[in-house]
Amino acid sequence: MNWILISIGSNHDAAQNMAAACRKLEQVLPSVRWSAVMRTKPVDCPRPDFFLNRLGSASTSLSVPELHLLFKQIEQQSGRTPESKNNGIIPLDIDLLQWNDAILKPEDFRRPYVQSGLLSLNTTHK
Protein backbone atom coordinates (compact mmCIF):
# COMPACT_ATOMS: atom_id res chain seq x y z
CA MET A 1 0.00 0.00 0.00
CA ASN A 2 1.08 3.53 -0.71
CA TRP A 3 0.47 6.60 1.44
CA ILE A 4 -0.77 9.72 -0.34
CA LEU A 5 -1.51 13.31 0.54
CA ILE A 6 -3.96 15.16 -1.69
CA SER A 7 -5.33 18.67 -1.76
CA ILE A 8 -8.72 19.70 -3.08
CA GLY A 9 -9.90 23.22 -3.70
CA SER A 10 -12.70 25.18 -5.32
CA ASN A 11 -13.68 28.81 -5.91
CA HIS A 12 -16.99 28.14 -7.69
CA ASP A 13 -19.96 26.53 -5.90
CA ALA A 14 -17.18 25.55 -3.55
CA ALA A 15 -19.11 23.94 -0.70
CA GLN A 16 -21.17 21.75 -3.03
CA ASN A 17 -18.24 20.81 -5.30
CA MET A 18 -15.98 19.99 -2.37
CA ALA A 19 -18.63 17.84 -0.68
CA ALA A 20 -19.32 15.93 -3.91
CA ALA A 21 -15.59 15.42 -4.52
CA CYS A 22 -15.05 14.12 -0.99
CA ARG A 23 -17.88 11.59 -1.41
CA LYS A 24 -16.44 10.37 -4.74
CA LEU A 25 -12.92 10.13 -3.34
CA GLU A 26 -14.15 8.27 -0.27
CA GLN A 27 -15.61 5.57 -2.54
CA VAL A 28 -12.19 4.93 -4.10
CA LEU A 29 -10.06 5.81 -1.05
CA PRO A 30 -12.07 4.42 1.90
CA SER A 31 -9.20 5.11 4.33
CA VAL A 32 -9.09 8.84 3.53
CA ARG A 33 -8.95 11.23 6.47
CA TRP A 34 -9.81 14.88 5.80
CA SER A 35 -8.42 18.04 7.29
CA ALA A 36 -10.68 20.89 8.25
CA VAL A 37 -11.93 23.02 5.35
CA MET A 38 -9.98 26.26 5.03
CA ARG A 39 -10.97 29.49 3.27
CA THR A 40 -7.98 30.89 1.39
CA LYS A 41 -7.08 33.79 -0.86
CA PRO A 42 -6.44 32.89 -4.50
CA VAL A 43 -2.86 32.24 -5.63
CA ASP A 44 -1.97 32.63 -9.32
CA CYS A 45 -5.63 33.01 -10.22
CA PRO A 46 -7.09 35.92 -12.20
CA ARG A 47 -10.30 36.05 -10.13
CA PRO A 48 -10.43 37.45 -6.60
CA ASP A 49 -12.87 34.78 -5.35
CA PHE A 50 -11.78 32.99 -2.20
CA PHE A 51 -11.15 29.24 -2.34
CA LEU A 52 -12.19 26.48 -0.03
CA ASN A 53 -9.35 24.01 0.44
CA ARG A 54 -8.70 20.85 2.39
CA LEU A 55 -6.20 18.02 2.53
CA GLY A 56 -6.78 14.31 2.56
CA SER A 57 -4.43 11.51 3.54
CA ALA A 58 -5.05 7.92 2.57
CA SER A 59 -3.53 4.56 1.79
CA THR A 60 -4.06 3.18 -1.68
CA SER A 61 -2.90 0.50 -4.07
CA LEU A 62 -3.54 2.82 -7.03
CA SER A 63 -0.55 4.09 -9.00
CA VAL A 64 0.31 7.74 -9.53
CA PRO A 65 -1.01 7.67 -13.14
CA GLU A 66 -4.23 5.98 -11.98
CA LEU A 67 -4.72 8.64 -9.30
CA HIS A 68 -4.07 11.47 -11.76
CA LEU A 69 -6.65 10.01 -14.15
CA LEU A 70 -9.18 9.62 -11.32
CA PHE A 71 -8.63 13.19 -10.15
CA LYS A 72 -9.04 14.59 -13.69
CA GLN A 73 -12.28 12.65 -14.15
CA ILE A 74 -13.71 14.00 -10.89
CA GLU A 75 -12.62 17.55 -11.80
CA GLN A 76 -14.32 17.28 -15.19
CA GLN A 77 -17.50 15.87 -13.61
CA SER A 78 -17.62 19.01 -11.44
CA GLY A 79 -17.56 21.19 -14.57
CA ARG A 80 -13.88 22.05 -14.81
CA THR A 81 -12.73 22.81 -18.34
CA PRO A 82 -9.59 24.41 -19.79
CA GLU A 83 -11.69 27.51 -20.52
CA SER A 84 -12.97 27.77 -16.95
CA LYS A 85 -9.42 27.45 -15.62
CA ASN A 86 -8.21 30.18 -18.00
CA ASN A 87 -10.99 32.42 -16.68
CA GLY A 88 -10.07 31.68 -13.06
CA ILE A 89 -13.23 29.69 -12.38
CA ILE A 90 -12.14 26.53 -10.60
CA PRO A 91 -15.10 24.28 -9.79
CA LEU A 92 -12.63 21.71 -8.48
CA ASP A 93 -8.88 21.19 -8.31
CA ILE A 94 -7.45 17.95 -6.97
CA ASP A 95 -3.68 17.58 -6.62
CA LEU A 96 -1.48 14.72 -5.51
CA LEU A 97 0.98 16.47 -3.19
CA GLN A 98 2.84 13.51 -1.75
CA TRP A 99 3.36 9.86 -2.71
CA ASN A 100 4.92 7.88 0.12
CA ASP A 101 8.08 9.90 0.95
CA ALA A 102 8.17 11.84 -2.34
CA ILE A 103 6.80 15.38 -2.31
CA LEU A 104 5.43 15.80 -5.83
CA LYS A 105 4.42 19.48 -5.66
CA PRO A 106 7.01 21.22 -3.46
CA GLU A 107 5.73 24.74 -4.22
CA ASP A 108 2.17 23.80 -3.24
CA PHE A 109 3.47 21.89 -0.23
CA ARG A 110 4.90 25.11 1.23
CA ARG A 111 1.60 27.00 1.05
CA PRO A 112 0.19 27.98 4.45
CA TYR A 113 -3.09 26.13 3.95
CA VAL A 114 -1.19 22.90 3.25
CA GLN A 115 0.92 23.30 6.36
CA SER A 116 -2.20 24.11 8.39
CA GLY A 117 -3.97 21.10 6.88
CA LEU A 118 -1.07 18.87 7.85
CA LEU A 119 -1.42 20.02 11.43
CA SER A 120 -5.16 19.41 11.23
CA LEU A 121 -4.49 15.86 10.06
CA ASN A 122 -1.80 15.47 12.70
CA THR A 123 0.42 14.19 9.92
CA THR A 124 4.15 14.64 9.59
CA HIS A 125 6.16 14.44 6.42
CA LYS A 126 9.79 13.68 5.75
> pLDDT of 7-31, one tens digit each?
999 999 999 999 999 999 999 999 9
Q: Which domain holds residue 104?
A: 2-121
Query: In angstroms, what is the C-alpha Rg of the chain?
Result: 14
126 part of a folded domain: no
100 part of a folded domain: yes
46 part of a folded domain: yes
Total domains present in the chain = 1
Q: Give me the CATH number covering residue 98.
A: 3.30.70.560
62 part of a folded domain: yes
Cβ–Cβ under 8 Å, residues 72 and 24: no
Which residues have CB under 8 Å from 26's CB, separation 6+? 32
Which residue intervals of the chain are DSSP H helices? 14-28, 64-77, 82-86, 106-109, 112-121
**How far from each other are the two terminal CA atoms of the chain, in whole angstroms?**
18
Q: What is the pLDDT of residues 76-106, one digit of tens each?
A: 999 999 888 888 899 999 999 999 999 999 9
54 part of a folded domain: yes
pTM of the model: 0.91
